[in-house]
Amino acid sequence: MISAENLPILVIIIPLISAIITPLVGRIHRSIGWLVALLATSLSFAYSLALIRSVMENGPISYWLGGWEPPWGIEYVVTPFNGLVLCVVSFITIVITLYARKSIEQDVSESKIPFFYSLYLLFFTGLMGIVITGDIFNLYVFIEISALSGYALVAMGRERDALIASYNYLILGTIGASFIVLGIGYLYMVTGTLNMADLSARLPELYDSTTVRSAFAFFMVGLSLKLALFPFHIWLPNVYTHSPSTVSALMAATSTKVSAYVLLRLMFTVYRPEFVLTVVPVTKILLVLAALAIIIGSVIALAQTNIKRMLAYSSVGQIGYIILGASIANQASMTGSLMHIFNHALMKGSLFMVVGAMVYRTGIVNIEDMRGMGKKMPFAMAAFTIGALSMIGFPFTVGFVSKWYLAVGALKADMWYFIPIILLSSLLTAVYFWRIVEAIYFREKSEKLAGLPSEPAEAPFGMTATTLFLSLLCIVFGIAAFIPTKVAAAAAKLLLGG
Amino acid sequence: MEIIHSARPLYAMAVSAVAVVLIGFSYERPNLREFWTILAAVVKFAIVMSMVPAVLDGKTIEYSLVTILPGLEIGFKVDPMGILFAATASFLWILTSFYSIGYMRTLKEHAQTRYFMCFAATMTATIGAAFAANMFTLFLFYEAITLCTFPLVGHKETPEARAGARKYIVYLLGTSLAFQLFAIFLTYNAAGTLEFSSQGILAGTASKTMLTVIFVLFIAGIAKAGIMPFHNWLPAAMVAPTPVSALLHAVAVVKTGVFSILRVLFFVFGTDLLVDLDIGTAAAYFVSFTIIMASFVALTKDNLKARLAYSTVSQLSYIVLGALLLTPSSAVGGIVHIANHAFSKITLFFCAGHIYAAAHKTNISQLGGIARRMPWTMAAFFIASLSMIGVPPVAGFVSKWYLAVGSVEALNYPVLVVLLASTMLNAAYFLPITYKAFFEREKEDEYHHGEEVREIPIMAIPLVLTAVGSVIIGLYPDYFIALAREVIR
Amino acid sequence: MIELIIGKYNYWIYIALMMIGFYAMIAKENLIKKIIGMNIFQTAVILFYISMSKVRGGTAPIEWEHAVRYENPLPHVLMLTAIVVSVSTTAVALALVIRIYKAFGSIEEDKILEMKGDRTGKTPESVL
């Protein structure tokens, strides 16, 4: 049944079907919903690993849905690039699923928990589908699957502000998706195909066509909205702040990264590097936007008092890093950009998980109230400190690896002026993270914290263990960086026209 | 040059890392916990000393730990300069541990476990920096030192302590991220490697402007060396308990700073390149400014630790100056001053802490006649002051002599004037303290509670030992000079 | 020039619809009106695709022995998917609006923004 050739479709089908059966089996006992989710994501992760291993040895894998030959049929393609993203997304989702159990029991009312997991699995399906598909309209379908379930997931937050955040996300997300489908339509109109590989072959002669260029423009704007690239990031802070902790963690670690993947795939695989670098030098614009995102994201993060909002603006800056590396477009910087997709997922995922653990036990989200938290929740705060060091870019952590590659890439491209920007944002990040580290360890407990009963102290084992695990990975992969780097470098080579 | 591959540098570094864990687990049994500290310090010193014969013989010990990325490797190399620094630091840690125990217990300080854990962690990072084989490893441990010392600086957890700690980390982290990291990127881009080499790695790799930019960035980025205007963290860090100031700010933190600068000057740039670039002289003047200015500020300070802090700022620049003059003698002078200053300054800080612990006095104006009650302490203080001033036969004289000879060799007479002037300034702000302590009358004031002010043996013995050490090094400097000469060959 | 305006009338219609919908989504303050705008926006895109599939002189794409040319069925099929997406999105959006109305008591955006927690500095009210 599980033959290697069917792996690409199984990666999608299993979470999809699980999403449908979860509400049914969830009626038996609410934990079953969680169990189903865990099983589905674990299987997907196992398959992703198998896929990437096979790809690194044997070359790209192609799967025809329903046996229909592309370009008429829908094709799923696995290359080092999307294999890496598949593994990252499914891995992070497993960890967050393990984390989610207790957290969701507090955030979502009991009768709704099976539905939560159903949406969760749909969201996951959507993400995996986006990454693995080789057909551009199929891409739109999966984008919408993950988007819609995302809107619903966000709306499950405790506060009523979650509803309005979700609504705004919906409006902006739909604009983005509609632009994408418009772009797809334009491309179809001039090439007659929806298969990405086929498009890539047919587009070069059409580079001068206004239709193709407009399509590209629509794609750029639509994806930037999904990606939360400055100045299209407006939905992100509210969404991350008000959704349930698990959802914030999941979204921060995955959805924007997957949108970045789509952008890179489009820019470099479908449209080819020559287009984005010379014919329509959109990379120049992206460089400016990325630099702005990096600086402005960090600056606004400084001003925040709510820790989730601070992390959200920090994410806006980090997305800037990814786009910066991609826009400089040489081997080193692209490797850095791809590494940052992985690294930021680890870092931000663990940081949001820490916040979730804190909210679970104490309900505190305000930075002022976090004083003295180090004594109450030492493990969670240790994870926070590691995550903070990684965000600042300390050597030995994953944050340093990404920054190293970006800097080396910038220098090789003679764009040394980006290094002060990167360093400046590191400094700003150091400021807004370090003041929290100082507050949690070296200050007396805030009144709110002191007013809480001292037992139980740490968050439940499942939550704390997964949080620590993820932050320790920040260090592990900061040292053993050559493992993901190898894959990222291969992917970068592929994207840049190897 | 023969290379020995041995994991000993790793062990030397890791001993105290193990101690951190053991100390943490012994938090309920203070005596056991203190035992770990002492044991780790002694073992560390033993391992470091065991590598000295090989180094004196002309060999280097290398060990590569892990390659993070191509071009970024954590590696250790034990060479003369590194072993000089490591030997000094590890020896002084032993003495500081005893002193710390006395200080903490006398004052019944809180959070002692955290204190000793961070101390051990800092020493791990310091030895790691001493034995770093490339700029990346050095940077890693440099930053690690900043992190590990932060809880120590803010130990008292009062608002002043927090403010001081904040200033500390802002200066150190800010400059290292903004400037040093930038310089490292540029160096890697130009040279393709970050490994230290005795001929330097930057020769002929980039334009003069670029190399000068890298040079300036490194100097600005290594704020631990206390070169003005990035020195402010040093006086701010005086809010720390005195043993912290003693070891860390007289030995570990600041010495890592100047050590890093020396590494950059000799092993990344190389003396030939520096002579080519012609920046040695200009930088020497820049550093001389620190020497003089800090001495003037020291004159104005009544708080004993503050005066010592500015004295440190001034003395550190001697080391950098020695390197920048680019002559063999001045380099020797600078390098041996790492050890000489360490011994003398730590004595001074030990005295200051001892006075605070025993008599609760912090200001020089309160020290009238205290020598009557604390004779050993003030005697040690006097000897260490002589070393700072540069009077034979104490250690400081050796460094000053070589620096002076070096400045004559470099035909740089203004620097010679600077050296003489600072010698006089040193006398001006140190001798009055001793005079006051010995020859003035004890004041009857609110600080004199009528209690017995007595010297505390566990604190007094280390400082006497370091004072004696200063004299011994002054009389028999050959060990260190031999090591220093090895460096510049 | 005339050819550009009259000949490509389908594109002009879809652009006009899209802009109307877009304007409604952004400028209107009533949440329901935004959703209506969203619908118009998505309808415009759907119409664009459909108009793309028309082939001059083509018949319906069902096998017929007298057929010379068939029209392109693919965009129709794609738009079935897009219509489903549009309907689902509208459903989710409307459900959200109902919940918002229950929680805030209003569906005018400016009033909601006033009541929103972060702006006024209050901790957001819980809906659970």
Does A482 lie at the interface with B, CB-CB under 8 angstroms?
yes
Q: Summarize the confidence of residues A279-295 as an average pLDDT.
A: 88
Does A174 lie at the interface with C, CB-CB under 8 angstroms?
yes
CB B67 within 8 A of CB B193: no
Mark yes or no for CB contact C124/A171 under 8 Å.
no
Q: Of residues B193 and A17, which shows the higher confidence score?
A: A17
CB A114 within 8 A of CB A30: yes
A309 neighbourhood in chain C, CB within 8 Å:
118
For the stretch B9-19, pLDDT in tens is 888 888 888 88
**pLDDT for A454:** 67
Residue A76: strand pairing partners: A63, A133
Q: 3-state DSSP helix/strand/coil percent for chain C, to nearest 5?
A: 70, 5, 25
Q: How confident is the model at residue C121 (pLDDT cuts 50, 70, 90)?
A: very low
**pLDDT for C128:** 42
Q: Summarize the confidence of residues A301-323 as an average pLDDT.
A: 91
> Domains of chain C: which residue ranges?
2-52+70-115
For the stretch C72-81, pLDDT in tens is 888 998 999 9
Mark yes or no for CB contact A174/C49 under 8 Å.
no
**pLDDT for A1:** 41
Among the partner residues C75, C99, C127, nearest to A159 by beta-carbon distance: C127
B166 neighbourhood in chain A, CB within 8 Å:
438
C123 neighbourhood in chain A, CB within 8 Å:
159
- Domain region containing A438: 4-497
**pLDDT for B445:** 56
Q: How confident is the model at residue B421 (pLDDT cuts 50, 70, 90)?
A: confident
Task: Residue B159: count other Cβ atoms within 10 Å of its Cβ.
Answer: 9
**pLDDT for B1:** 60
Residue B179 is classified by DSSP as I
Q: Of residues B397 and C34, which shows the higher confidence score?
A: C34
CA distance A243 to chain C (A): 12
Is a pLDDT exceeding 60 seen at residue C125? no
For the stretch A399-441, pLDDT in tens is 898 888 999 888 888 888 888 898 898 889 988 898 888 888 8
Q: How confident is the model at residue C97 (pLDDT cuts 50, 70, 90)?
A: very high
Question: What are the C-alpha distances in Å from B97 to residues B117, B156, B457, B462?
Answer: 12, 19, 14, 9
Fill in the amino acid letter for B27: Y
* Sheet with B72-78: strands ordered across: B3-5, B60-69, B72-78
Is a pLDDT exceeding 80 seen at residue A386? yes
Burial environment of residue A462 by CB neighbours within 10 A (0 to 12, 13 to 18, 19 or more)? middle
Is a pLDDT exceeding 60 seen at residue C35? yes
Q: Summarize the confidence of residues B204-226 as an average pLDDT.
A: 82
> Domains of chain B: which residue ranges?
279-489
Q: Summarize the confidence of residues B99-109 as an average pLDDT.
A: 81
Is a pLDDT exceeding 80 seen at residue A328? yes
Mark yes or no for CB contact C49/A185 under 8 Å.
yes
Is a pLDDT exceeding 60 seen at residue B76? yes
Question: What are the C-alpha distances in Å from A157 to residues A361, B211, C124?
Answer: 16, 55, 11
Q: Give A19-68 as a DSSP string.
A: HHHHHHHTTT-HHHHHHHHHHHHHHHHHHHHHHHHHHHHH--EEEEGGGP
User: Average per-residue pLDDT in chain B?
Assistant: 82
CA distance A427 to chain B (A): 6
Among the partner residues A155, A175, A185, nearest to C48 by beta-carbon distance: A185
Mark yes or no for CB contact A164/C81 under 8 Å.
no
For residues B215 and B221, give the distance between their C-alpha atoms in angstroms, rounded to a whole number.
10
Does C20 lie at the interface with A, CB-CB under 8 angstroms?
no
User: What's the topology of domain C2-52+70-115?
Assistant: Helix Hairpins (1.10.287)
Mark yes or no for CB contact B177/A423 under 8 Å.
yes
For residues A466 and A401, give the distance between their C-alpha atoms in angstroms, rounded to a whole number.
23
Residue A257 phi, psi (nearest 5): -65, -40
Q: Of residues A497 and B234, which shows the higher confidence score?
A: B234
Q: Summarize the confidence of residues A377-391 as an average pLDDT.
A: 89
Burial pattern A375-389, b for ≥16 Cβ within 10 A else e, equals ebbebbbbbbbbbbb
Among the partner residues C22, C74, C128, nearest to A158 by beta-carbon distance: C128
User: Average per-residue pLDDT in chain C?
Assistant: 84
Is a pLDDT exceeding 80 seen at residue A139? yes
- State what percent of residues in chain A have pLDDT above 90: 29
Mark yes or no for CB contact A167/C31 under 8 Å.
yes
A427 neighbourhood in chain B, CB within 8 Å:
173-174, 177-178
A162 neighbourhood in chain C, CB within 8 Å:
127
Does A411 lie at the interface with B, CB-CB under 8 angstroms?
yes
B181 neighbourhood in chain A, CB within 8 Å:
393, 423, 426
- Give the number of domains in chain A: 1
Helical residues (DSSP H) of A195-254, grouped into ranges: 196-202, 210-227, 235-242, 245-253
Mark yes or no for CB contact A438/B166 under 8 Å.
yes
Does A483 lie at the interface with B, CB-CB under 8 angstroms?
no
Q: Of residues A280 and C117, which shows the higher confidence score?
A: A280
Of B63-67, B150-154, B446-450, the one with minimum mean pLDDT is: B446-450
CB-based touch B/C (3+ pairs, under 8 A): no
How much is the ipTM here?
0.89
* Greatest C-alpha distance within chain B: 69
For residues B62 and B82, give the distance between their C-alpha atoms in angstroms, rounded to a whole number.
12
Q: Summarize the confidence of residues B298-309 as an average pLDDT.
A: 86
Q: Which two tokens stand for residue B437?
A: 């302590």
CB within 8 A of C9, min separation 6: which ones?
none
Among the partner residues C25, C31, C92, nearest to A151 by beta-carbon distance: C92
Q: How confident is the model at residue B353 (pLDDT cuts 50, 70, 90)?
A: confident
Does C31 lie at the interface with A, CB-CB under 8 angstroms?
yes
Q: Summarize the confidence of residues B272-288 as an average pLDDT.
A: 79
Fill in the amino acid letter for A219: F
Of A93-97, A126-130, A469-473, C57-61, the one with minimum mean pLDDT is: C57-61
Does A68 lie at the interface with B, CB-CB under 8 angstroms?
no
For the stretch A224-249, pLDDT in tens is 999 898 888 889 999 999 888 889 99
CA distance A411 to chain B (A): 7
Q: Summarize the confidence of residues A102-113 as an average pLDDT.
A: 82
Residue B61 is classified by DSSP as E
Q: Tally the residues of chain A.
A: 498
